Amino acid sequence: MGNFQNQQKLKIFLMIYIFYSSIHSKCRCNGEEKNEKIANFVFGDSIVDVGNNNYILSLSKANYVPNGIDFGMPTGRFTNGRTIVDIIGHELGLGAFPPPYLAPTTKGSVILQGVNYASGAGGILNETGVLFGGRLNMDAQLDNFANTRQDMVDMIGEEEAMKVLNKALYSVTMGSNDFINNYLTPGFSKLEQHLVTPQAFINSMIDKFRLQLTRLYNMGARKIVVVNIGPIGCIPYQRDINPTAGNDCVAFPNQLAQAFNTELKTLVNHLRTDLPDSIFVYADSYRVFTHLLDNYQSYGFENGDSACCYGSGRFGGLIPCGPTSKLCYDRSKYVFWDPYHPSDAANLVIAKRLIDGDTNDISPINFRQLVNS
């Protein structure tokens, strides 16, 4: 009789243990964190490209040393280590880094965990980056996402595919190249600026972006983070081609970025209101990155204006990072990896601010809150 009672007690104990374990596997008891894996889809330019440009004929490539020196090998990431979205996905426990869409191994069940569509030199406008040859602008990235969506439907059925897509995280980092490699391109900018005012150019970007973000929503996206344009007048490239700025960031590119960002925030707020069940989030990378540059020493950096991987120019901004480039003595002490892109260490600072930042950094909720919503 005693053994029977003990067995019954053991069964009850195991049932209670399994019940509470199943609850804990889904969330922490304080409700702050869910461990449920969701898919992670990434759209953008070279800031978040993880290798799509490796597979197209383009002058915008990073699949050679010393790029990726702290990642283990060159992968097509335009930095020494991880991109911002790499870090965000890892910190939030979203699993493996989303693979580049164009990689031949990005097929089958892999796509159910998310895909990266970003492309160096890509922009909102289709003409952006034409000097680089091949690149995937936002329209092309959405076309590729449509292909992924159909592959998912074919694989698991439309109802299950839509469940995955509706729960997934989407991040869109676009717009910098529309200025850097379009409106501000040396030799072309004066003609462009004479024919089109800055506000008219920005309006064309916003009108196009509205259509693109709405298309993304119509294909099933609901949790969408739109990252604004950073202080592009502070990158080593802009500093070197505008020497009259001295030690300061170049004013005009930053003014363009700020003017665009103002319109973009309004657009994101309107989309959140107008599109049912959507959670559009506005990530203020301009504010976050400017704070980093203004206070780089307090973040542990020693250089906030020059490229770690450099060739020529006062700030090392005139020649892209490549095999003949020189490297700084300590990559973790430089905000900029190359003439255009942040270092892994800077990406970590930015990512953490966007993951857990307040509404001044990212609104109406941050990445962690969005994933748990």
Q: Find the catalytic residue in 341, 343, 344, 361.
A: 341
Encoded tokens for 47: 């800031």
Displacement of CA 351 from its chain's centroid (Å): 9
Look at strands 279-283 and 362-363 and give their pairing. antiparallel
Examine the residue annotation and report whether 176 is marked as an active-site residue of this protein.
Answer: no
CA 253 to each of CA 184, 206, 230: distance values in angstroms, whole numbers, following the listed order: 8, 17, 10
Examine the residue annotation and report whether 46 is marked as an active-site residue of this protein.
Answer: yes
Q: Which of 220, 257, 49, 71 is nearest to 141 (CA)?
A: 49
Q: Find the catalytic residue in 46, 171, 176, 343.
A: 46
Sheet of 169-173, strand order: 40-44, 169-173, 223-227, 279-283, 362-363
For residues 138, 143, 149, 155, the Cα torsion angle rounded to the nearest 10 degrees is -140
CA 237 to each of CA 14, 78, 196, 241: distance values in angstroms, whole numbers, following the listed order: 63, 15, 24, 6
Examine the residue annotation and report whether 86 is marked as an active-site residue of this protein.
Answer: no
List the Cα angle 161/158/86 in 5-degree steps. 20
Which string of DSSP letters, residue by residue, matches 202-241? HHHHHHHHHHHHHHHHHTT--EEEEE----GGGSHHHHHH
Encoded tokens for 284: 């203020």
Tell me if the bond preceding 364 is cis, omega within 30° of 0: yes
CA 130 to each of CA 7, 87, 285, 332, 344: distance values in angstroms, whole numbers, following the listed order: 73, 30, 26, 33, 28
Look at strands 169-173 and 223-227 and give their pairing. parallel
Contact in structure between 354 and 367 (CB atoms under 8 Å): yes
Return the number of other C-beta atoms located less than 10 Å from residue 270's C-beta: 12
Q: Classify the phi-psi angles of 176: left when phi > 0, otherwise alpha if psi is within -120 to 50, otherwise beta.
A: alpha
Residues paired with residue 336 on neighbouring β-strands, in sequence order: 307, 342
Catalytic residues: 46, 338, 341
